[in-house]
Amino acid sequence: MNNQNIRNVAIIAHVDHGKTTLVDAMLKQSGIFRANEQVAERVMDSNDLEKERGITILSKNTAVHYGDIKINIVDTPGHADFGGEVERVLKMVDGVVLLVDAFEGAMPQTREVLKKSLALNLKPIVVINKIDRPGAQPLKVVDDVIELFIELGANDDQLEFPVVYASGKNGTASMDLNTPGTDLRPLFDTIINYIGAPACEMEGPMQMLVSNIDYDDYIGRIAIGRVERGHVDLNMPVVICKDDNKTLNARVTKLYVYDGLKRIEVESAEAGDIIAMSGVAGINIGDTICDYNNPEKIPFVNIDEPTVSMTFSVNNGPFAGREGEFVTSRHLRDRLYKELDRNVSLRVKDTESPDAFEVSGRGELHLSVLIETMRREGYELLVSRPKVIIKEIDGVKCEPIERLVVNVPDDCVGTVIEKLGRRKAEMVNMEPAEEGHTKVEFKIPARGIIGYRTEFLTDTKGEGTMNSIFDCYEPYKGDIQARTRGTIVAFEPGKSITYGLYNAQDKGDLFIGPGVEVYEGMIVGLNSRPEDLAINVCKEKHLTNTRASGSDDALRLVPPIQISLEKAIEFIQDDELVEVTPKNIRLRKKILNNKDRERAARASMKE
The values of phi and psi at residue 414, to 5°, are -60, -45
Q: Report which of 563, 561, 581, 584 is spatially closest to residue 572, judged by C-alpha positions.
A: 563
List pLDDT tens digits, range 345-372.
788 988 888 899 999 988 788 888 899 8
The predicted structure's pLDDT at residue 36 = 39
* DSSP-based three-state secondary structure for 364: helix
* DSSP-based three-state secondary structure for 161: coil
Distance from C-alpha of 13 to C-alpha of 365, rounded to nearest angstrom = 18
Q: Report which of 596, 591, 590 is spatially closest to residue 382, judged by C-alpha positions.
A: 590
Distance from C-alpha of 320 to C-alpha of 301, rounded to nearest angstrom = 42
Kindly tell me if the per-residue pLDDT of 42 is higher than 80.
no
Distance from C-alpha of 372 to C-alpha of 311, rounded to nearest angstrom = 15
Q: Report which of 311, 322, 310 is spatially closest to residue 380, judged by C-alpha positions.
A: 322
Q: Provide the b/e sequence for 463-481 (b: ≥16 CB within 10 Å).
A: ebbbbbbbbebeeebeebe
Assessment of whether the complete model's pTM goes beyond 0.85: no
Task: List Cα–Cα distances, 592 to 469, 473, 511, in angstroms.
Answer: 36, 37, 18
List pLDDT tens digits, range 198-245.
877 778 888 888 888 777 777 777 888 888 888 888 888 888 888 777
The predicted structure's pLDDT at residue 3 = 67
Phi-psi region of 540 (alpha: psi -120 to 50; beta: other; left: phi over 0): beta
Structural element, H or E, at residue 586: strand 585-589
What is the distance of C-alpha 359 from the center of its chain? Answer: 15
Structural element, H or E, at residue 89: helix 83-89
Phi-psi region of 315 (alpha: psi -120 to 50; beta: other; left: phi over 0): beta
Q: Report which of 206, 427, 369, 436 is spatially closest to residue 298, judged by C-alpha positions.
A: 206
Q: Provide the b/e sequence for 424-445 (b: ≥16 CB within 10 Å).
A: bbeeeeeeebeeebbbbebbbb
Distance from C-alpha of 589 to C-alpha of 522, rounded to nearest angstrom = 6
Calculate mean pLDDT across residues 498-510: 86
Instruction: Catalogue the E-assigned strands of 343-462.
Output: 347-350, 356-361, 381-383, 387-388, 391-393, 396-409, 426-432, 437-445
Distance from C-alpha of 251 to C-alpha of 417, rounded to nearest angstrom = 60
List pLDDT tens digits, range 318-351.
988 888 898 899 999 999 988 887 777 788 988 8
The predicted structure's pLDDT at residue 39 = 44
DSSP state of 488: E
